[in-house]
Amino acid sequence: MSDRYQEFASSPVGKLLVKNLGLPRPTRLRRHREGEPLVAGTVLVGGRGRLADALPGTLGDLGIEAVTEPPADARIKGLVFDATGLTTSEQLGALRDFFTPRLRSLETNPRVVVLGTPPEQVTGAERVAQRALEGFTRSLGKEIGQGGTVQLVYVAPGAEQSVGSTLGSTLGSTLGFLLSPKAAYVSGQVVRLGTHGKATGEAVADPDRPLAGKVALVTGASRGIGEAIARVLHRDGARVVGLDVPQAASELQGVMAELDGDWLVLDITAADAPQRIAHHLREQHGGVDVVVHNAGITRDKRLANMGEDRWDSVIAVNLTAPERITRELLDQGVVNAGGSIIGVASIAGIAGNVGQTNYATSKAGVIGLVDSLADELTDAITINAVAPGFIVTQMTAAVPFATREVGQRLNAMAQGGLPVDVAETIAWFAHPGSRAVNGNVVRVCGQMMLGA
Ligand SMILES: NC(=O)c1ccc[n+]([C@@H]2O[C@H](COP(=O)([O-])OP(=O)(O)OC[C@H]3O[C@@H](n4cnc5c(N)ncnc54)[C@H](O)[C@@H]3O)[C@@H](O)[C@H]2O)c1
């Protein structure tokens, strides 16, 4: 689906008007293309903390060219700053010292990652300094422009040194994602690694097919975001089992046939759905490695006019079904060791939205599901969620023009995201190297102005 405003804003006349009227100037976002290197350019590493020494090696293992001195002529694609050594507020000036001279020599779609220590795991002045990093990265995300992204990654103390662990196995898949075009629409996020146990990431034989030999269930896979998730997980090597309602059976079969996948036609709210799904995955595939709860509906009305049907159906599809299915798959041991469970929340579940008390309740509940299970899961199984902002799909194409325009521009990138942006984030959670990523909710929203 084309973004007509973006096309207009990059035309000669459009450029002039946009500049003179101070209108938003969306930069065309570069997305990952199969077979391309993760990062096309040089990443400069700075800062002094417990992670700095190992960083160039970790990036090198990912095939990323990392340097610790700014190259004389080459422009910089990414900046990674180890801020774990900052223990007082006076030392925060190190951020300015590192970033300010570099910001004018960044390539388009630049990537910035600041590494810190989770504030809740340290005390006193160090806690203050580490908490302060969040204001820095969120503001730089809004300033950086050029389709750039800025993230803060808190690494639990010792997570990189626990038995059998290296910095690469804790941080590799996360840096690989956040520094690459796969994270095109993810910005201003705070990610925590190793804060719910210290599981070590698994090395993958083929970095282009990290999910080879794995089975992935995707609900609502016949179209929109679910279809994109199925395609990206397939690209990464997974055997995908797509699920959708009987009304969408032929579209689902079409997509799954293309991906050489399997399909399951049922309504996830049916009383016996969890048992049928568990049975199918166990009997046909010997278990499941990746479970993506993507199926979702909206039935918008202000609360004063909200009928019982609208309320009940949204809670049933978006929240109760993922809860029941997750519980059944775990109780029956159908989720393989090292597996990942992934919820699809929404920005509405974080910021709230007019006409969406039912939807926002269900999506905030998905975040609650992540919180409730992150510490409980065993066998290195993880649970995380994405919270998409404005993603261009058939669902959002139906939104009236003016509302859609405002919704699309109210973010640091002044444009809507694509289903593939949500799918790439899910593929990062599902990556066998991402075991330290547990209990996170990551927004895929171009750093929307709504909510934190
Ligand atoms: N599009 C956005 O901007 C956006 C923003 C935030 C969150 N989301 C969330 O992303 C997910 C996908 O959204 P989308 O835009 O692709 O929507 P969509 O309507 O295009 O697709 C949803 C899919 O879920 C399926 N589904 C619905 N009820 C089901 C049920 N009871 N059992 C099985 N399958 C069922 C539908 O048939 C459909 O294939 C949803 O959870 C949605 O809430 C979307």
Radius of gyration of the chain (CA): 22
Between the alpha carbon of residue 222 and those of residues 87, 217, 304, 342, the distances in Å are: 50, 12, 34, 18
Residue 407: its pLDDT value, please? Answer: 80
Q: 336-367 as b/e, with b when 16 or more CB fall inside 10 Å?
A: bebbbbbbbbbbbbbbebebbbbbbbbbbbbb
Pair type for strands 262-265 and 288-293: unpaired
Domain borders along the chain are 31-193, 215-444
Q: List the residue whose alpha carbon is closest to atom 18 of ligand 1.
A: 224
**44 CA distance to ligand 1 centroid (A)?**
39
Residue ranges in the chain whose pLDDT is less than 50: none
Ligand 1 mean position, distance from CA 385 (Å): 15
78 Cβ closer than 6 Å to some ligand 1 atom: no
Residue 201: closest CA among 99, 340, 326? 340
Q: How far is the CA of 175 from the centre of ligand 1 (A)?
A: 29
- Domain 31-193 and domain 215-444 have a common topology: yes
pLDDT at 236: 97
For residues 398 and 407, the answer to whether their CB atoms sit within 8 Å is no
pLDDT at 202: 87
What's the pLDDT at 26?
87
Q: Is the CB of 444 under 6 A from ligand 1?
A: no
The token pair that represents 366 in the structure block: 């998905």
Per-residue buried b or exposed e for 45-71, using 16+ beta carbons within 10 Å of the residue's own CB: bbbebbbbebbbebbebbebbbeeeee
| Tokens, residue 148 | 């750039």
Which one, of 378, 381, 224, lies nearest residue 289 by Cα? Answer: 381
Query: Best mutation site among 245, 276, 293, 415 for ligand 1, i.e. most ligand atoms within 8 A of its Cβ?
Result: 245
Torsion angle, alpha carbons of 43, 48, 53, 58, to 10: -40
CATH of domain 215-444: 3.40.50.720
CA dist 319 and 22 (Å) reads 42
Measured between alpha carbons, how far apart are the two ends of the chain, in Å?
Answer: 28
Order across the sheet with 189-193: list the strands.
65-67, 42-47, 76-82, 106-116, 149-155, 189-193
Give the residue whose CA is nearest to atom 42 of ligand 1: 296
Instruction: Tell the CATH superfamily of the 31-193 domain.
Output: NAD(P)-binding Rossmann-like Domain (3.40.50.720)
- The one-letter amino acid code at 445 reads C
User: Cβ-count burial of 398 within 10 angstroms (0-12 exposed, 13-18 middle, 19+ buried)?
Assistant: exposed
Handedness of CA 250, 339, 427, 140 (dihedral sign): positive
**Residue 359 falls in the annotated catalytic set:** yes
